[in-house]
Amino acid sequence: MPVSSFKRTILITGSTDGIGKQTATDLAAHPDNRVIIHGRSEEKCETTRDQIVKETGNPTNVDYIAADLSVMKEVAHFADKVKSRFPELNVLLCNAGVLNPRRAETVDGLEMTFQVNHLSHFVISRQLRPLLQQNSPSRIIFVSSICYDWYPLDFSDLQATNYGDAYLQYSRSKLMNHMTAFRLAREKSDGVTVNVLEPGVCETKLLKRGGYSGGPVKDGSVAPVHLVMSEEVKNITGGYFNNRGKRITSLSADSTDAKQQDRLWTMSEEICSKFGITF
């Protein structure tokens, strides 16, 4: 296991704005945390890093990695870049997400919300799990939403050709996050816990794109910070936590359905294989 002067090395996808950035800032305020921010461009990542360092006064514990999760070629190489640069990684916070008022496709021909919110994190969490296992005890945390149970999955239309309103596919992508997390948690015990949280309704750019308003972004980092740092949850896996970091015991039947989890898992692997991504 790599030797590190930090207690935690934490990668947060989608952390140049909104809840991800706030969470990165709050975690970087603790000098025993090494925080790796992620964004689509080097420039935005550098700017965010400088802002966080200025706010926390800790110049040595914030780094970054850039990758566009809407490009499968970049997703495919993301884990290798992380392994090379940050071999001490022991926390993965899957936070990046989009909410589009209208259907849009990526350069890969996949529906944008499906690819960024679900498929990219499916790949990243699968490919980084061996490293996390090596550095155990480790944690994988998915950021979901209170709307995750608004719509059931349509397995005949994961690409949302019938897009409907903006929240239909967004909600389904968050249900996919739940299913992926719980399916990962069903794997044999390997020193890696996998949990899901909902950060609350916060005034982010994403929320505004969906036509809603919410509370301060600062409130949205409470649950992520808790799930990353708290000793109370170190032995919990397959759990769902609310915006205050309290475990929710009432879960949607779809999210906990092992057959649906396995079906999504297999279909996601099949799509990944078309881009040369195997596990």
Compute the average pLDDT of residues 209-219: 61
**pLDDT tens sequence across 233-277:** 999 999 999 999 999 999 999 999 999 999 999 999 999 999 999
What pLDDT shows up at residue 208? Answer: 44
The number of domains in the chain is 1
Helix, strand, or coil (residue 71): coil
Q: What is the CATH number of the domain that holds 31?
A: 3.40.50.720
Q: Is 240 a catalytic residue?
A: no
Contact 139, 92 (CB under 8 A): yes
Sign of dihedral through CA atoms 260, 261, 262, 265?
Answer: positive
Read off the pLDDT of residues 173-203 as tens digits, 9 standing for 90 and up. 999 999 999 999 998 778 999 999 998 665 5
Residue 215 lies in a domain: yes
Q: Is residue 153 one of the residues assigned to a domain? A: yes
Look at residue 3 and tell me if it is in a domain.
Answer: no
Q: Which residues pair with 65 in a beta bridge?
A: 38
Tens digits of per-residue pLDDT, 14-58? 999 999 999 999 999 999 999 999 999 999 999 999 999 999 999
User: Which residue in the block uniquely carries the two structure tokens 């200025």?
Assistant: 54
Single-letter amino acid, residue 159? Q
Examine residue 1 and state whether it is found in any structural domain, yes or no. no
Position 62 pLDDT exceeds 80: yes
Q: How confident is the model at residue 4 (pLDDT cuts 50, 70, 90)?
A: confident
Q: Does residue 120 belong to any structural domain of this protein?
A: yes
Rounded to whole angstroms, the Cα distance separating 111 from 108 reads 9
pTM for this prediction: 0.94
Q: Which residues form the domain of 121?
A: 8-273
Q: How far apart are CA 91 and CA 195, in angstroms?
A: 12
Query: Among 64, 148, 167, 170, which one carries the catalytic annotation?
Result: 170
Residue 213 — pLDDT band, cuts 50, 70, 90? very low
Q: What is the pLDDT of residue 189?
A: 74
